[in-house]
Structure 1
């Protein structure tokens, strides 16, 4: 075992210990997201769902919620504490959900917060999300902002600078270029006071 894995496990235990606070914040995020849909519900996908907090918040707001997570401990926690949602243990690129009739499931909202910086092939990752969304479906995307004015001048002092866990770093413009090159259109760009990028993009609706 490495020091990195020990630190990750300790952080994970601390994360799960704050269950009620995590769920409360997740419900607040869902309240914001559902306003953008005019109160509509549908299928919700949390990419990198960890302990299932956002998936559970989505269920509370009336969505059919799914979570995708590569870490087995996190999936076990989500299934135990929030069993009314569906969880897939594995990589997003291997996630191809189907309904009871064998037809592909399309998602109305995908939530991907602080995940894309861990992905070595972000183009393939985003294109898979694009195809999982229904036409007009939204992707809520956040990641650290390496160009943010509040980022420490020395990268070593930035808490989001943690190679090799983070493979990539984005500025708002580089992330915008990436998502538009993958077929998304920008729906809303949110101001982040902490060093992060917050975007809502969507798969274009059928004309």
Structure 2
């Protein structure tokens, strides 16, 4: 999973990154709030660790931006211990709060706890419709629409599109797509995925050669662009 650390003190960022990387998390580092917002907008972030006091834009400003778009877990770090700062952070949607100096082992435990709680909750939610720009999927009827006009997709195309639209911004490799959609072991059959992606683009894109929605990440895989 991808973790965003927004902290202006490099030593603290390095310490957190060291412990998270040992647990196979992919870490994105920002030294101020504006850089944090930029990373959040361009990467699929599963959890954010935000310092409250940062240059350019503080953690309060960053969480306000995140909460306009996502309910991912957010953990605040601060040198302040006053109750009103804690209440302010939690009131704006922070899920946890740690006062510096803190134990990186405890922070790692809280990261894992927040991720377990969030994804257990998310998996229990049922969304019958997904909307992305002009596109809409109705899961109950397995129907796809663009500007309210129905599109004809076969079963595998529908599953690929549903997976990608359910996770906008997240990059899936060909291996991941094949194993998740075909429910079979992937033996490097790139052509199967490429043909299905091409057919989906023909149906959902105004110009399939310059796709607006379904983007190729060269050398990695595919993703649906956030709208």
Assess same fold via TM > 0.5: no
Q: Relative contact order (C-alpha < 8 Å, sep 6+): which is higher?
A: 1
TM class by smaller structure? 0.3 to 0.5
Alignment TM-score, normalising by the size of structure 2: 0.35
Larger Rg: 2
